[in-house]
Amino acid sequence: MVTRSRVLSAGSYLPARIVTNDELAKTIDTNDEWIRQRTGIRQRHIAAEGELTSDLAVAASHQALENAGLKGSDVDCIILGTCTPDHTFPATATRVQHVLGAKGFAMDVGAVCSGFVFALAAADNFIRLGQVKNALVIGAETFSRILDWKDRGTCVLFGDGAGAVVLQASEGKGNKSDQGILSTHLFSDGAHYERLYVDGGPSATQTTGHVKMDGREVFRHAVVNLAAAIDVAIAANNINADEVDWLVPHQANRRIIDSMGHRLKLPEERAVITVDRHANTSAASIPLALAEAVNDGRIKRGQLVLMEAMGGGFTWGSALVRW
């Protein structure tokens, strides 16, 4: 027998304010058709004044814990994927830990849009080693706080939100029939550091800065890297692509999502798509999409779910889970 990280539940939270493409077109040189054709996005949620990343994370975590039938005090480990922390330090995860009344330890993971997959991999490894029984893995962002709202090349792409899952140690046979996380695969390449970055930071400029992106290069690398992440997950578990029931991808661009679905030979309805309503919520995008599909009943127990993401750094990765 082997130890597996079973995914008990998922939860999500989106800020109340919705900003449509038409609303953005009133302040910058863009229009709804231009944004939709290039990205698939029609709206995004924006955090309210004073609403922090930790607030979004706590709300998503409460829902995930309630769906799992657990309390905050049952949680041994909190790992939060975010690139928009409340403060430079301490880790935003520690604030979430305090509010939830959780025990054990809490930490942040900064892998930008890949943050949730990186956090999931870390929590899975803690569970496999027997160091943690119940883990809370969160992706939460207030990305609107690091956008230049006059730059149409970036501000139209992103939104705010949070998603969370609860993992619990369970026994498995060590093969692809097991329930839980079957494998995770993480990668990075710092040679592309300046393709997607924020032009500020405590050490560099002592400012927060704004997102800067070479969109054409990011798109090109995303298609190649995400395809590779999918292939390695399939090969590692000795499955065929057609055994995957659901693709839950990072929600950056509809064209990239469609490309990955075609690679898996999945019908369009088997890819969970929220980019049209959420835009790119960075580390929150996968758990937001996952929570939606789990809680509306699309994803069912026993099904194979493949998650993949790529973010600044570049970082990228995948995770294969039997729900």
User: Catalytic residue at 155?
Assistant: no
User: Catalytic residue at 113?
Assistant: yes
Q: Is residue 95 part of a domain?
A: yes
Phi-psi region of 265 (alpha: psi -120 to 50; beta: other; left: phi over 0): left
One domain for residues 9 and 147: yes
CB 252 within 8 A of CB 129: no
How many domains are there within the chain?
2
One domain for residues 195 and 308: yes
Q: Is residue 111 part of a domain?
A: yes
User: Catalytic residue at 225?
Assistant: no
- The domain in which residue 225 lies consists of 180-272+282-322
pLDDT in tens, 72-128: 999 999 999 999 999 999 999 999 999 999 999 999 999 999 999 999 999 999 999
Catalytic: which of 21, 134, 253, 280?
280
One domain for residues 124 and 229: no
Catalytic: which of 113, 185, 192, 253?
113
Q: Is residue 37 part of a domain?
A: yes
Q: What pTM does this model have?
A: 0.98
- The CATH number covering residue 208 comes to 3.40.47.10
| Distance between CA atoms of residues 24 and 6, nearest Å | 41
Q: Is residue 267 part of a domain?
A: yes
| Angle of CA points 307, 309, 315, to nearest 5° | 135
- Per-residue pLDDT, 290: 98
With cut-offs at 50, 70 and 90, classify the pLDDT of residue 52. very high
The mean pLDDT value of the chain amounts to 98
Catalytic: which of 45, 250, 253, 278?
250
Q: Which tokens sit at 162?
A: 């949070």
- Per-residue pLDDT, 128: 98
Q: Is residue 277 part of a domain?
A: no
One domain for residues 80 and 164: yes
Q: Which tokens sit at 175?
A: 């093969």
One domain for residues 188 and 154: no
One domain for residues 119 and 88: yes
One domain for residues 82 and 227: no
| Distance between CA atoms of residues 30 and 80, nearest Å | 34
Nearby residues of 295 by Cβ (< 8 Å), 6 or more positions away: 10, 12, 67
One domain for residues 56 and 114: yes
Nearby residues of 135 by Cβ (< 8 Å), 6 or more positions away: 5, 75, 76, 77, 78, 79, 123, 126, 127, 166, 167, 168
One domain for residues 167 and 186: no
Phi-psi region of 24 (alpha: psi -120 to 50; beta: other; left: phi over 0): alpha
